[in-house]
Amino acid sequence: MSDVLAVADHRRGDLRDVSYELITAGRQLADDTGGDLHLAVISGSVDNFAEKLNRDGVDAIHTVSHGEEFNHDVYTQTITQLYDELAPQYVLTPNSVNGLDYAPAVANELDLPVVTDTVDLSVNGETLTATREMYGGKVETTNELEGDAVVTIREAEWPTAEGTGDASIAAFDAEIDEDAIGSTVNGFEEVGGGDVDISEADVLVSVGRGIEEEENLDIIRDLADALDATVSSSRPIVDNGWLPKNRQVGQSGKVVTPDVYIAIGISGAVQHVAGMKGSDTIVAINTDPNAPIMDIADYAIHDDLFDVVPALTEQFQ
Ligand SMILES: Cc1cc2nc3c(=O)[nH]c(=O)nc-3n(C[C@H](O)[C@H](O)[C@H](O)COP(=O)(O)OP(=O)(O)OC[C@H]3O[C@@H](n4cnc5c(N)ncnc54)[C@H](O)[C@@H]3O)c2cc1C
């Protein structure tokens, strides 16, 4: 019987959705090991966060109030001390910017193996089986680890935990060595693109490399206008400087969950899909019937976007 310790993720005063996904993943692991699921909430408005995170499946929540934002050293020290106190078998963190910052450091401090960016986990006896994708999702690898481990989970792979729980909530008395804190977050700077938040949009018209030229983006904007939708894109469009960074969907962009996601000339690389697969209805327009996006689309239009998009715009107008 072994416990699991998951670490909640927050930024700029808000819990990130992956925190609720961690509860689902952590509960599954704890069920496999027959142990409890502990949740650490470090920095920020911890009491408020703890209340929100008290969902079905969580046994205990440990809060550590120290500063507002994520801090590498505070997280590393706190999680190391929680591990010493609780002796969990697995430390579970998001594969987020923050998680990837401290998870390897925690593993190093505790002399444990770390497996990152997992998409599936199960435990059999003392063996943890962690599935990861490689080569842009073309290959799936199965990693077997014996004993304790630090594991990061990919966002949007597990459903969010629901339901009100009855976890114990208590402040954990972490001893933070202030002299060992080498960096602090002094503020956030918005990348260009004004105040558009694609993660809030109900309908996204998303464009990829199939659009070929920057000036062709006009047909995408026309469709978005006709639908009262927001324009987003795959990474190459942002890399080309055709749209600002805050329009990028995916692993290194934003995670979006609109009612409708229209993927136009987007192949559906795993890094893109990671950001949009939670969309309710996915429409793909692509000349390649074998493009991966066609596999996850609810409606797949196998045709040339330069014919389909203007026709759709006309219909919606
Ligand atoms: C660490 C890392 C992080 C990454 N993060 C992200 C990320 O956050 N978001 C992201 O999107 N990518 C990300 N990528 C890049 C990702 O691997 C892909 O390269 C990228 O998503 C491909 O973009 P695309 O689908 O627009 O282009 P392509 O893969 O080139 O696909 C273009 C598609 O358009 C179709 N097409 C071409 N012409 C037409 C036409 N006339 N009509 C209809 N269809 C047409 C083609 O059949 C093709 O399927 C990341 C990569 C790495 C290594």
- Residue 108 and residue 212: Cα distance in Å, rounded? 45
Give the distance (Å) from ligand 1 centre to CA of residue 80.
39
pLDDT digits (tens, 9 = 90+) for 179-226: 999 998 888 876 665 668 898 899 999 999 999 999 999 999 999 999
Q: Which of 219, 286, 290, 306 has the most ligand 1 atoms within 8 A of CB, as the residue to mutate?
A: 286
**95: pLDDT confidence band, cut at 50, 70 and 90?**
very high
Instruction: Report pLDDT for 137.
Output: 66
Residue 252 pLDDT > 90, yes or no? no
pLDDT of residue 192: 60
Q: What is the pLDDT of residues 15-58, one digit of tens each?
A: 998 999 999 999 999 999 999 999 999 999 999 999 999 999 99
- Ligand 1, CB cutoff 6 Å, lining residues: 136, 208-210, 234-236, 248-253, 265-267, 269, 271-272, 275, 285-288, 291, 304-306
Model confidence band, residue 273 (pLDDT cutoffs 50, 70, 90): very high
- Percent helix / strand / coil, the chain, rounded to 5: 35, 30, 35
Residue 194: predicted pLDDT:
64
Q: What is the pLDDT of residue 133?
A: 84
| pLDDT tens column, 119-151 | 999 999 999 999 998 776 678 999 999 999 999
Q: Which domains does the chain have, with CATH numbers?
A: 2-180 (3.40.50.620), 198-316 (3.40.50.1220)
**252 against 111, higher pLDDT:** 111
Q: Evaluate if pTM is beyond 0.95.
A: no
C-alpha 293 to ligand 1 mean position (Å) = 10
Residue 34 vs residues 27, 54, 153, 225: alpha-carbon distances, Å:
10, 20, 20, 53
| Residue 282: how many other CB atoms lie within 10 Å | 23
Which atom number of ligand 1 is nearest to the Cα of residue 293? 49
Q: Which amino acid is at 278?
A: G
Average pLDDT, the chain: 94
Question: Where are the alpha helices (H) located in the chain, listed in sequence order?
Answer: 18-33, 46-53, 72-86, 97-110, 217-227, 235-239, 270-276, 292-296, 305-316
